[in-house]
Amino acid sequence: MKRLIEYQLSSGGSLIAEVDEPGPEGGPQHASLRDYLTPQSAHVTFEEALDKVKPAAIAMKDKLSSLQPDRIEVEFGLKMNADVGAILASAGVEANYKITLAWEMMGK
């Protein structure tokens, strides 16, 4: 079920994000447009939500840097959740990362 979540920004203001929230298991779900259009307040700020993935991003950078490429690009998806903040998309059983490592050829 999709919901609107309002994240407070540490610089002031807020950001509203559409997120997938798990619904009740077994059976139909009751959803109304009014429920959807009324944002739920997140339990963390937007910056705190993003801090949840920072250790994984740093670990990935550190490990890939050991290969000594001239350039590293890592692309991954994030899902936002009102309770836990940001999580890596599909990180339960499998995760999808796009990694590009580049080395410049010398003397070409």
Per the CB < 8 A criterion, the answer to whether 51 and 76 are in contact is: no
Highest mean pLDDT among 12-21, 58-67, 94-103: 58-67
- % of the chain at pLDDT higher than 70: 75
C-alpha–C-alpha distance, residues 84 and 58, integer Å? 20
pLDDT class of 95 with cuts at 50, 70, 90: low
pLDDT tens string 13-26:
998 888 776 666 65
Tokens of 57: 């991003």
User: What average pLDDT does range 82-108 have in this prediction?
Assistant: 73
Q: Is the pLDDT of residue 94 over 60?
A: no
